[in-house]
Amino acid sequence: MTPTGSLEPALLELDELQDRAVRAFASAGSPDDVEAARVEYLGQKQGRLKSAQERLKTLPNEAKKAYGQRFNGVKQALEAALDAARSRVERRAVADDAIDVTLPGTAPRLGHRHPLAQTADELIDIFGRFGFAVARGPEVEDVRHNFDALNIPPVHPARDPLDNFYLSEGTMLRSQTSTIQIRVMESQPPPVRVIAIGRVYRPDTVDATHSFMFHQVEGLMVDEGVTMGDLKTVLRLFARSYLGEDVQIRFRPSFFPFTEPSVEVDMLWHGGRRWVEMGGAGMVDPNVFKAVGYDPERVTGFAFGLGIERLCMRRHGIDDIRLLYQNDVRFLDQF
């Protein structure tokens, strides 16, 4: 300690304090280092500058002015060194976080459409080339569109509560996309050429070939003079476009309330020996035309329905429908 009342040693201590503090701030390499230097030299309680300020009390009155002036200069120098150190480490932190545009980029992992979505898109494209527009409708339907307008009587087994998802106030989850065909015919006069596509719901037990929710595509063509020959031609062209040129189709007699006559559509391809049932079809029943305000004496039409899951599984050799809904990336990456 310098003797009380000695000015020169006190001024030298101020110069040394300034020199050490400026070097400490200049060498601080991080925000923590800057904060440590600030506490040591500019701290309000035990900082070295605070101690130097207390020294003023020990000096004689004639020395206080000179010491005070030097002290103020040192304080300003230390505060300037602190500001400079803070700015430097902040710029360095920003630079460390900045993107180096000269480095090669990291390519994001790109996904792709689900195989069912791919199948639906392909069906839309194929039937679009045949002149069929796409129609969609609500998945929550009323009983009229789902049954009544499709000539399905109240006593028909298809209406059984165990075979449908009934909701409140006469509504239900649609059990078939034929409801969309009714809505299309209600909204426009003939001719009509559309495919109806979307999800349908039935309370089936889930196994390798069944699901409580699946997808359908249904076709409808209404005009004067439409025949079963037109239906078979459209389905043959579709089968060859989707499954290959060697595909054969056949019709087997069947029954559906909304078509008369009705057929099951079977397909055989790639030299196989087993016919595979792909869906149902037939000529639109006159009662359906009456329900939508069409004149069954003037127009005829055909309708067909195919399961999108079934088409997708046949195309790709998938043997379990549950694989399509498990979201296993290892499976989906194959498509």
Pairing of the two strands 300-307 and 276-284: antiparallel
Residue 263 near residue 281, CB atoms below 8 Å: yes
Pairing of the two strands 192-201 and 133-135: parallel
Classify 310 in phi/psi space as left (phi over 0), alpha (psi -120 to 50) or beta.
alpha
Radius of gyration of the chain (CA): 42
Query: Per-residue DSSP letters for 117-140?
Result: HHHHHHHHHHHHHTTPEEE---SE
Question: Known binder of ligand: residue 169?
Answer: no
Task: Give the position of tokens 């101690």.
Answer: 51
The kind and range of the H/E element at 259 are strand 259-268
Q: For residues 150 and 239, give the distance between their C-alpha atoms in angstroms, rounded to a whole number.
A: 26
- Beta bridge partner(s), residue 103: none
| Binding-site residues from annotation | 260
| Binding-site residues from annotation for Mg(2+) | 260
